[in-house]
Chains A and B, each alone.
Chain A
Amino acid sequence: MRPEQVFDPLLQQERTSLAWERTAFAGLVVGTLMTRVGASVHLLLGGFGLVQVCASAGLLVWSGRHYEDLHVQLRAGESPTHPRAAMVVGIGATIATGLATALAVLHLVADG
């Protein structure tokens, strides 16, 4: 059930939720650029960027739902940390930036 008032007057959970959403937006931008650079080398390589765009869109949807869930967790006195989400985003960003580096190197080689 949706609460009628926020848990924390400092709006900590709202700021954290916005931070998740900003991270998802940044992922969307990187995914779009990866699609462009990848497709300029080979059309199939653009698929890596599209996967990144889809993953970031998924993160955006999840972060909206997570904000609603945080109210329940905080009122129940439970820890609001989500280690699995942090690990998924950490590993996902590492893979995405690694792939982006590889695509830029391939673009450099292809251009001669």
Chain B
Amino acid sequence: MGRIVPVDEPDATPPPRRVLRSSHRHLFPPDPRTAGDDPDYRFSLANERTFLAWIRSALALAAAGLGAATLLDDFPGEEYLGVGLLALSFLTAALSYRRWALAETAMRLGRPLPPSRLPLFLAVAVSVIAVASAVLVAIHAT
């Protein structure tokens, strides 16, 4: 016997455009200046420098990935290594602004800064890629 669905029951799956807008809001939260008061300018500038350091890390990973994909011709599996580094750079860049906005909002509201798993994730991912490179070099050498 089929389940009777009430007419006014909200749709469980939102339309694709709303999902896209929601994920955009999640990755790129609105202007933090709409909440709370201005914190000490030194904290704001330190937060901005941390954000820029994350962006540079993403760009450095992208440069390494592009270099690996094109320059290391004698290295076995260099294309896959490059694509792996580039995917990592994309994730790092995509999450950087969110990290900055959440920290800035917490500062403005006088709350503790929210912890992030991004440093741990990046450290583990780069370590895995480094070990994979070492294994590939060892296989190639033998």
Q: Residues of A at under 8 Å CB distance from B?
A: 8, 10, 12-13, 15-16, 19-20, 22-23, 26-27, 29-30, 33-34, 36-37, 40, 74, 78-84, 86-87, 89-91, 93-94, 96-98, 100-101, 103-105, 107-108, 111
Q: Given the complex, which residues of A lie within 8 Å of B61, measured CB to CB?
A: 97
Chain B interface SS verdict (over half):
helix
Q: A16-B48, A34-B66 are in contact. Are A83 and B86 (CB under 8 A)?
A: no
A36-B66, A79-B41, A104-B65 known; 6 new pairs, CB 8 Å cut-off, are: A26-B63, A33-B66, A83-B31, A94-B94, A101-B87, A108-B80
B interface residues, how many (CB within 8 angstroms): 47
How close is A45's CB to chain B, nearest CB, in angstroms? 13
Check A104 against B59 for contact (C-beta < 8 Å). no
Check A10 against B44 for contact (C-beta < 8 Å). no
29 contacts between A and B (CB under 8 A): A12-B41, A16-B45, A16-B49, A16-B52, A19-B48, A19-B53, A23-B59, A30-B62, A33-B62, A33-B66, A33-B70, A40-B70, A80-B45, A80-B48, A81-B48, A86-B48, A87-B28, A89-B97, A93-B55, A93-B96, A96-B93, A97-B59, A97-B86, A97-B93, A100-B65, A100-B86, A100-B89, A105-B83, A108-B83
Q: Given the complex, which residues of B lie within 8 Å of A29, measured CB to CB?
A: 59, 63
Q: Mark B61-103, 1 if CB is under 8 A from A, else 0.
A: 1110111011000000001101100110110111011001100
Check B31 against A93 for contact (C-beta < 8 Å). no
Q: Given the complex, which residues of A lie within 8 Å of B38, measured CB to CB?
A: 78-79
In the complex the two chains form, what is the Cα distance from A86 to B28 in whole Å? 10
Check A97 against B89 for contact (C-beta < 8 Å). yes
In the complex the two chains form, what is the Cα distance from A93 to B61 in whole Å? 12
Q: Given the complex, which residues of A lie within 8 Å of B51, measured CB to CB?
A: 86, 90
Q: Residues of B at under 8 Å CB distance from A?
A: 27-28, 31-33, 38-39, 41-42, 44-49, 51-53, 55-56, 58-63, 65-67, 69-70, 79-80, 82-83, 86-87, 89-90, 92-94, 96-97, 100-101, 104
